[in-house]
Amino acid sequence: MADMTPNETKVVRQIEYYFGDHNLPRDKFLKQQMQLDDGWVKVSTMLQFNRLKSLTTDSNVIIEALQKSKTGLLEISEDKTKIRRSSDKPIPELNEDYKDAMKNKSVYIKGFPLETTLDEILEWTNGKGQAENIQMRRNLQRQFKGSVFLVFETEDAAKAFLGRDDIKSFKDNELLVLSREAYHAKKAEDRKQHKADYKAKAKHNKDETQKQTEEKEMDLLLEEQTGCLLKFTGELDQVSREDFHTLFSGHGKIKWVDFTRGAKEGTLLFEGKAKEALDKATEAKGGTLQIKDNDVTWELLEGDVEKDVLKKMIQAQQESYTRTKGRGREKFGGRGRGGGRRGGRGRGGRDQNRSHYQGKKTKFDSDNEDDGPSSPKKRAREDTSADAPAAKAVKAENGS
């Protein structure tokens, strides 16, 4: 095509594209026209194609340009009014082999400015290898995405193009150039990464939502329990949790006893205000509130100290619930499994019978403690004594 004018070069390239291996197997209209006259198509019919019509509307220009082509793809009729694909070049069948061949002959290029035209890309490819087809990739709004597929006549031609050093940029824009196989591999990896990123983001958002919900529930719990904590300190070796229930019986209902047998301090959580319960019990005992004749220092917890202690209680119940839920253990205890911390000889140990964290509906319930080896009947008799709190019904985790 060296002796052609620039416009003749464009005309030949466009017509040979229409009759080329890439377009013709897919072009129903052109194949129908070819069947009408032994493969011949009128030049006037070709001028109905918009791309060709934008280059010329003169049949003579088309014929003269095709006569200069050296590809041998097209024949011209004697009267110079019709053209057809050469019988020496059969039309490929649109099958899997054809698709594989197209894939191996294709090159992916990304990085063109979005305003780039087809003519500019064609001009850029001049001297770099004869592309059989240039597919400008577009989005759903038919806007150019900045990437193209070049289809070459042979796989070797595509490989030769990929090996060039002058295909890495376009008007100072850096280009990504890949074989079609490498492009599909990259897309698969990108989709995999996108899916992983989406899952990670969804998990993060879920965790953040759950965290915020838990923080709000915690704030509500802390607000509900404000003023309900009473700390005690003293020599408490022989004291059990039941002794605290007995001491405050009739003065204030204890929801939770945070105490380990043998410890020198602990905390009581009341259903109402701790100060009111302490004042009533102290007044009832003549102004000095002891437990089993032991002196005890009582301290009302307030402010940040109160919040910290409450948080630890709630978290301890949550952890206890997590440990026991999957093992079929009863939620509020059974024989030998009293609520709160314990140092007794029940099978569950010190943490087995805490009531459990359940969002803002969390309840702190402290069952009586079995302080030594005794039968269920003996415990039942002890629990019905005048000074002991009423026994609670055991509620299993499954609601029975």
Q: Are residues 173 and 315 in the same domain?
A: no
Would residue 67 count as lying in a domain?
yes
Residues spanned by the domain of 240: 222-383
Would residue 399 count as lying in a domain?
no
In the prediction, which pLDDT does 153 show? 85
Asked whether 321 and 356 are in contact (CB, 8 A), the reply is yes
| Stretch 51-75: mean pLDDT | 93
pLDDT by residue (tens digit) across 167-209?
A: 999 998 999 999 999 999 999 999 999 999 999 999 999 999 9
Would residue 292 count as lying in a domain?
yes
Would residue 211 count as lying in a domain?
no
Sequence-distant (≥ 6) Cβ neighbours of residue 373 within 8 angstroms: 345
pLDDT band for position 326 (cuts 50, 70, 90): low
Q: Are residues 77 and 118 in the same domain?
A: no
In the prediction, which pLDDT does 327 show? 57
- What is the number of structural domains in the chain? 3
pLDDT at 395 over 60: no
Last residue of a domain, one of 85, 115, 131: 85
pTM: 0.50
DSSP 175-222: -EEEEHHHHHHHHHHHHHHHHHHHHHHHHHHHHHHHHHHHHHHHHHHH
The enclosing domain of 374 has a CATH number of: 3.30.70.330
Average pLDDT, the chain: 81
In the prediction, which pLDDT does 338 show? 38
Sequence-distant (≥ 6) Cβ neighbours of residue 226 within 8 angstroms: 306
Last residue of a domain, one of 159, 186, 213: 186
Tokens (6 digits) for 321? 């619930």
